[in-house]
Amino acid sequence: NATQYPTEIINTAKSHLNSVERKSQEATVKVIHEDISAFGTGTYFTLKAHHIVITAAHVVIDKEKMIIQTPSGHQQYGRVIYRSDETVDIAVLAVSPIPNRAPIKLNSLKTKADLLGIPIIYSGFPNDHDLMLIRGTIAGFNAENQTLLAQSYAWMGASGSGVFDRKTGDFVGVLSAIDVGVAYFPQLIETIVWVSPSWQIDKKSLSNILDDSKLP
């Protein structure tokens, strides 16, 4: 069972977050695959009048509906309306408004040219912990699979987390995986994090899909 900390300690901890970090925390949800009890993380956004959750494609696998769960335990369904191809690990779910969550407007998306070295943050549930906020830096770009490489931390459960520029709040991308290195045998490197870039989302196409879609 999760430890219940006194409210005054939690409020003190929150006071050390900047506005981008607070917004990330307030928009983060779990994305749960009910058939196999697996889950990832998603971020609650609005695009025009639409409410959506963006996560990783490998979190939703081949499902058409996923359970969206808030940190307080509220659950509702989200319907998968967009799933990337094999090279882009991003999926989008249409949702009705989520209680006690504050959506982020899907506005500015970072481009490859202005990313190297920027400070980043994401909120998620690595290793099934309660909601955590993780900081890091964009350290490079993997040309082979077109992912960003972040010097940060991730583990299973955090897949699908929205990654943001800690200073500007721009949406950088979606946490996809951790690196695998080989030193005598394969090893997971949880401090090298793969991020699917947000510029791979076609906002115009996504908007058109949403205009034609129905809620879950």
Six-digit token string for 189: 């490197």
The residue type of 62 is D
The per-residue pLDDT for range 156-173, each reduced to its tens digit, is: 889 999 999 999 999 999
- CB 130 within 8 Å of CB 54: no
Residue-level pLDDT at 1? 45
- Phi and psi at 63, nearest 5°, equal -75, 150
Low-confidence spans in the chain with pLDDT less than 70: 1-14, 85-86, 108-113, 178-183, 185, 214-216
pTM, two decimal places: 0.88
Residue-level pLDDT at 95? 96
Question: How far are the Cα atoms of 107, 108, 151 from residue 55, in angstroms, in the given order?
Answer: 17, 17, 20
- CB 98 within 8 Å of CB 92: no
Residue-level pLDDT at 21? 95
β-bridge partners, 100: none
31 vs 53: CA distance, rounded Å: 9
Question: Tokens 């076609």 — which residue?
Answer: 202
Burial class (CB in 10 A: 0-12, 13-18, 19+), 157: buried
Six-digit token string for 70: 């808030």
Residues 175-195 as b/e (b if ≥16 CB within 10 A, e otherwise) read: bbbbbeeeeeeeeeebebbbb
Q: What is the DSSP letter of 14?
A: H
Residue-level pLDDT at 4? 57
Residue-level pLDDT at 182? 65
60 vs 40: CA distance, rounded Å: 8
Q: What is the per-residue DSSP string for 147-178? A: EEEEES---TT-TTPEEEETTT--EEEEEEEE
195 vs 175: CA distance, rounded Å: 5
Considering just the CA atoms, what is the radius of gyration of the chain in Å?
A: 16
The residue type of 84 is S
Residue 96: alpha-carbon gap to chain centroid: 18
